Amino acid sequence: MLLKDYKLTLKMPECNPSSQIINGIANLGQNIEEVLPYLNSVIKNCFYNHKSKILSFKKDGHMVTIYPDMIAVTKFNSKEEMIKFLDWLKNFINEIYGNRENIKPNYKTREIPKPIELLKLLPGENCGDCGYASCLAFAVKLSQGEATIEDCPLIFKAEFKEKKEKLSEVFLEA
Ligand code: SF4
């Protein structure tokens, strides 16, 4: 077993502190970076930077970002739901680590596009309905894995169908 335990800290979304949706940080108290290239091999559509040792992916509507000693997760309705997800993730990480001799590690980088590139795929209305002051501010949060495309209600309008499809291709579920 690689990942033994974690200590959870809940975080309210910066854009709307009174929201019922919660984010979380699991502090690992250990370094698990050696498993990241194996996760990069196994998790479909994940983003990975081997130099910075950061891996992120979207799963069941949650953004998951794994750092060497910390895991950030977003958009849960309750602490219990988050713990259930983190326990699943912990088991998954340990399963991949336990099976690493049969997995070819992948060190290739696939990064989330830069905010300026994501901005081109947003509606550009700067309406604030996502909870951020502008589309650029939202693009920054998207690129940091702290927001998901579902947070922009306008992108679901028919007139932005093409942009939504391109964004969805970037942020495919794992
Ligand atoms: S809701 Fe969408 S269109 Fe409005 S500011 Fe946010 S990202 Fe831009």
Ligand 1, atom 2, residue with closest C-alpha: 152
Give Cβ neighbours of residue 72 (< 8 Å, ≥ 6 apart). Answer: 23, 24, 25, 26, 63, 64, 65, 145, 146
Nearest atom in ligand 1 to 151's CA: 1
Ligand 1 near 72 CB (within 6 A)? no
Ligand 1 near 152 CB (within 6 A)? yes
DSSP for 91-105, please give it. Answer: HHHHHHHHTGGGS--
**C-alpha of residue 152 to centroid of ligand 1, in Å:** 5
Average pLDDT, the chain: 94
pLDDT at 146: 83
pLDDT at 149: 92
**Per-residue pLDDT tens for 45-55?**
999 999 999 99
List the domain boundaries for the chain.
7-102, 115-170
Ligand 1 near 135 CB (within 6 A)? yes
For domain 115-170, the CATH class is: mainly alpha
Q: Is the pLDDT of residue 88 over 80?
A: yes
> Ligand 1, from 120, 122, 156: best to mutate by most atoms within 8 Å of Cβ?
122
**C-alpha of residue 138 to centroid of ligand 1, in Å:** 7
SS3 51: coil
Q: Select from 3.30.310, 3.30.70, 1.10.101, 1.20.1440 the CATH code of 7-102.
A: 3.30.310
Per-residue pLDDT band at 15 (split at 50, 70, 90): low
pLDDT at 5: 95
Q: Which of 59, 81, 62, 96 is nearest to 8 (CA)?
A: 81
Angle among Cα 49, 108, 85 to the nearest 5 degrees reads: 55
**Per-residue pLDDT tens for 119-164?**
999 999 999 999 999 999 999 999 988 888 999 999 999 999 999 9
More confident residue, 136 or 15: 136
- Per CATH, 7-102 and 115-170 having the same topology is answered no
pLDDT at 139: 97
pLDDT at 17: 60
* Spacing of C-alpha 50 from chain mean position: 16
pLDDT at 144: 86
**Per-residue pLDDT tens for 16-40?**
666 688 999 999 999 999 999 999 9
Whole-angstrom distance, CA of residue 149 vs CA of residue 82:
20
